[in-house]
Amino acid sequence: MATVAELVAGLRAGDRRAVARLLSLVEDGDRGRVRRVVELCHPITGRAEIVGLTGAPGVGKSTLASGLVAAWRRQGREVAVLAIDPSSPLTGGALLGDRIRLQAHALDDGVYVRSMASRGHLGGLAWAAPHALAVLDAAGFDVVLLETVGVGQGEVEVAAVADVTVVAVAPGMGDAVQAAKAGVLEVGDVLCVTKGDLAGAERTVAELEEAQRDGGLVRTPVLRTNAIAGEGIAELVDVLSALRDERCADPAHRPRHRARAHLQVREIAVAALRRRVDEAITGELLDAVARGDIDPYAAADRLLADLDLPDTTGGSEGAG
C-alpha cells in the first residue's frame, strides 16, 4: 500500500487515482493518516478558485453545477466538484439522486467529480470538507466547486469558507423565498435564480433585489440562469471570477483563506477534545446524572476539571 507521501507525490504528478485515494483517506477519518494528508497537502494549496454552491433541495443545483463546469472547461480550466451529500441513516443519500447530471462530464479528463457523505465523521462535515478542499487544491485544479444542500448549519459553515458562494433559488417558491430572504442574503455572494425559463423567474429576481433595497443591505448580485439552455452561465462565471480576484488580489487580505484556516484549525482541535471528553466520561458519572444526583452542568464541570489535554492525534481508536 502506498504511503501518504507517495500518494501526494502522485497527486502532484497529475495522477487522478492518487487524488481519489487521498480523498478516501480523509473520508475514512483515520486520524494519523488524515493528519499526514493535511500536513503534506497544505503547503501546496492556495491556488484554486473555490466556489461554493448551495440552495434548498430541488432548486436545480446539479443542473447549474453541470452548466458551470462546462463553462469553465470552455475556458480551458480544470475543474473538481466536491459534492457534500446530506446522507443520514434515514435518507440514505436519496436526496441526491440528481448527482448523475454531472455524468455528462464523466469522459472529460479535465473534470473530477467526488461525493462525500456528511455522515459518520465525529466532527461532521465541517471537519472533513476543508481537508478535502486542501487535497483538491493541492492537486492543481483551477476551480473547485463545493456543492452542498442547504439543510443544516454544517453546510452553511462550509459555504462560508469558499472564496465565493452562489446561492441557487428556484422561481415561484413564494413564501419559501420570503422566509429565507434574510439568510440567503447573508450566505450568498451571488444569488442565482435558476430555471430562468419559468414564468416566475423575473419576479423572483425582482423580489430578491427589492428585499435587499428594503433591508438597506449591501447589494448582492442577482443573476438569472437557464442552465439547460446554457443561458446566463457565462455571465455567472464572469461575476464569480471578478469577485474572487477582487477578494484574493492582495495576499495579505484573503479573508476566506483565513476563514478556511479558522474552521479547519478549530474543528481539528474540537474533534480532539470531543474524543478526550468521551474517554473521560465514566459510567459512574452518567448513572449519577441519570439518577438525578448531579445535574449535567455540574457533571461537565467535574469532567473538565479532570481532563488532561491531548494533542490532536492523541488516543488510539479510529475517528470515523
Stretch that binds its own copies, among 17-25, 99-107, 205-213, 292-300 (CB under 8 A): 292-300
154 binds its own copies (CB under 8 A): yes
95 binds its own copies (CB under 8 A): yes
Instruction: Give the nearest distance from C-beta 222 to its own copies in angstroms.
Output: 16
- In the window 196-225, what residues touch its own copies (CB under 8 A)? none
94 binds its own copies (CB under 8 A): yes
Q: What is the dihedral of CA 177, 179, 183, 189, to 10 degrees?
A: 10
Give how far Cα 7 sits from Cα of 13, 36, 144, 205, Å.
10, 11, 20, 46
How many residues bind to its own copies according to rule CB under 8 A? 90
129 binds its own copies (CB under 8 A): no
Stretch that binds its own copies, among 16-24, 76-84, 181-189, 217-225 (CB under 8 A): 181-189
90 binds its own copies (CB under 8 A): yes
152 binds its own copies (CB under 8 A): yes
Instruction: Give the nearest distance from C-beta 110 to its own copies in angstroms.
Output: 26
Q: State the SS3 of the chain.
A: CCCHHHHHHHHHCCCHHHHHHHHHHHHHCCHHHHHHHHHHHHHHCCCCEEEEEECCCCCCHHHHHHHHHHHHHHCCCCEEEEEEECCCCCCCCHHHHHHHHHHHHCCCCCEEEEEEECCCCCCCHHHHHHHHHHHHHHCCCCEEEEEECCCCHHHHHHHCCCCEEEEEECCCCCHHHHHHHHHHHHHCCEEEECCCCCCCHHHHHHHHHHHHHHHCCCCCCEEECECCCCECHHHHHHHHHHHHHHHHCCCCCCHHHHHHHHHHHHHHHHHHHHHHHHHHCCHHHHHHHHHCCCCHHHHHHHHHHHCCCCCCCCCCCCCC
- In the window 257-286, what residues touch its own copies (CB under 8 A)? 257-258, 260-262, 264-266, 268-270, 272-274, 277-278, 281, 283, 285-286
Instruction: Report the residue number, 92 or 215, with the smaller CB distance to its own copies.
Output: 92
Instruction: Give the nearest distance from C-beta 74 to its own copies in angstroms.
Output: 29
Instruction: Give the nearest distance from C-beta 223 to its own copies in angstroms.
Output: 17
- In the window 17-56, what residues touch its own copies (CB under 8 A)? 35, 38-39, 42-46, 54-56
Instruction: Give the nearest distance from C-beta 102 to its own copies in angstroms.
Output: 19
Instruction: Give the nearest distance from C-beta 96 to its own copies in angstroms.
Output: 10
Instruction: Give the nearest distance from C-beta 108 to its own copies in angstroms.
Output: 27
Going residue by residue from 106 to 125, which x/- string records binding to its own copies, judged by CB under 8 A? Answer: ------------xxx---x-
